Structure 1
């Protein structure tokens, strides 16, 4: 698999079923000689897939900086706070993605901004435990 052999374990996956299309970021995993991608129930439901359905997937090299699209609200908060940005950048790629997913789960832009502000303050306070990052101080 060219992605994996080239050191690219993060991919973009485009799945199609009937008239539905879903684009996600994912990890390309290898076990023995088999490659696989986790495609959970939430994604299956969003695509409208039932147990015995077949669907098409396309794997694309993920060229995003973090292996997932950065929400503009979090990016703006990090760019306005150099100390928080430096701390964020010092984290592992997996922890950065987890933080990004934490912010992405919120629906409105204002809530994303509020949570990003809280998160950056907690990072500056030395909190690195993901379960604690969104707790008010």
Structure 2
């Protein structure tokens, strides 16, 4: 089965981080109740890729395009740039860092606890580990989350703190 994708379309940042999407672009992705998409954004010579949730706000479809992505792409809120949407085929609605995958592969107990969380909580923990630049730091953070899971810690804020 072919992966669903859109044509490129022009957008701009509204407010501080909202990008409103044309309804005709979004509609094919909403079939099957999946509101997660992979996004490619293009501006001048720059291109970035990220995962996002399609949300409806005041009758229009929107994705969050935070300051980090704006800086990475090199756009300011007044700039127009292009986007393209793709069907999100990842297990969690975001790519899990390979370091976190390896930690969970080597620790089935922590992996099982993680898998029982809501999709949003899983993504939040993945984003937490993913944000670190070095592989060693991602490993350390994934190990910390794994240990906290096995200690019975489920509160989001506490899962990302060292307790041992």
TM-score (norm 1): 0.95
CA shift for structure 1 position 40? 1.3
Gaps of 5+ in 1: none
- 1:87 aligns with 113
- 1:126 aligns with 152
- 1:74 aligns with 100
The runs of at least 4 aligned residues of structure 1 exceeding 6 Å deviation read none
CA shift for structure 1 position 4? 1.4
The answer to whether 1:106 aligns with 2:156 is no
TM-score (norm 2): 0.80
CA shift for structure 1 position 51? 2.7
Aligned equivalent of 1:40, options 66, 74, 86: 66
Question: Greater RCO between the two (CA within 8 Å, min separation 6)?
Answer: 2
Gaps of 5+ in 2: 1-26
Aligned equivalent of 1:21, options 26, 29, 47: 47
Alignment partners' CA distance in 2, 1:43 and 1:32: 24
CA shift for structure 1 position 52? 1.8
- Name whichever structure is richer in strand by fraction: 2
Describe the SS at the equivalent of 2:102. helix
- 1:60 aligns with 86
